[in-house]
Amino acid sequence: MRQAGVWLEARGAGDPLLVLLHGLNATAGVWEPFDAVVAGDWPGRRMLIDLPGHGLSDPLPEYSFGVVAAQVASAIGRVSAPVTVVGHSMGGVVALMLATGWFGIPVAHVLAVGVKIDWTEEELAAAAGTRDRQVKWYDSHDEAEARFVRLAGVGLAAASDPPLLARGVRSTRAGFRVAADPRAASIGAPPLRALMLSATASVRLACGESDTMVHVERLRHFDPGARVVAGCGHNAHIENPTALAKLLDP
């Protein structure tokens, strides 16, 4: 269903609520392996969300972590019981935004995985340069889906799994396109130190053992208890959802 222009799917019933937020260019479909692992043990609802400008959610005029977090909070709606948020990469930063309490969601625990901390001047310039990027159209669904797989980092080994690819491609009269708004990459680097200092929730940072975008020693500058997910790269929620799920216990 859609709430405040944001697509979400709620599963299970009761409290507490578990919210899953994907990374840049992906959709909530990438959480399917993780959700399958936690479904039997999580006592309340789980909510899978397409971030603004991704999947079936509406794009934004401009992208910032604060605006994205506000849209996500509006879609979640009024919640009284404590909420746990698990976010990957960009979604991890949005989870940390929600953990500040500024957006009215009573977040108790956050697990942020694969959040990129170190940005070069070239990377920041490249991100800023996407503010005016136009949608690229493809002649076939397969071409657009192959591009989605590369952009979302799903990995070739998992690219044949339909749930992981859900809502990653849109079809119109103009042709086929990756669902993600190409301007969403302009969101840039996160204010991680400020978010960690502002968090009113329990926060755990983590990354894959072989993640080329972030190393656990850098995460430990912000969270001394930051964890490593063994044998994984940037997408631990896809590569080893069982190991990642073990980090949910605060």
The CATH number for 97's domain is 3.40.50.1820
Alpha carbons within 13 angstroms on the beta-carbon side of residue 75 total 28
pLDDT score, position 93: 98
- Give Cα separations from 125 to 89, 121, 135, 189 (angstroms): 19, 6, 19, 11
| Dist. CA 182–CA 117, nearest whole Å | 21
C-alpha of 87 from chain center: 5
| Dist. CA 232–CA 18, nearest whole Å | 23
Mean pLDDT, residues 182-188 taken together: 97
* DSSP H helical ranges for the chain: 32-38, 65-76, 90-98, 121-128, 141-152, 192-198, 216-219, 236-239, 241-245
In total, the chain counts a number of residues equal to 250
* Structural domains counted in the chain: 1
pTM of the model: 0.97
Cβ neighbourhood burial of 132 (10 Å; 0-12, 13-18, 19+): exposed
pLDDT score, position 161: 82
pLDDT score, position 79: 94
Nearest Cα neighbor of 180 from 159, 201, 213, 151 is: 151
- Give Cα separations from 12 to 45, 64, 159 (angstroms): 4, 31, 27
> Residue 209 pLDDT more than 70?
yes
Mean pLDDT, residues 73-80 taken together: 95
pLDDT score, position 21: 98
pLDDT score, position 157: 66
Does the CA dihedral 12-35-229-201 come out positive or negative? negative
Residue ranges making up the domain that contains 104: 2-248
pLDDT score, position 250: 52
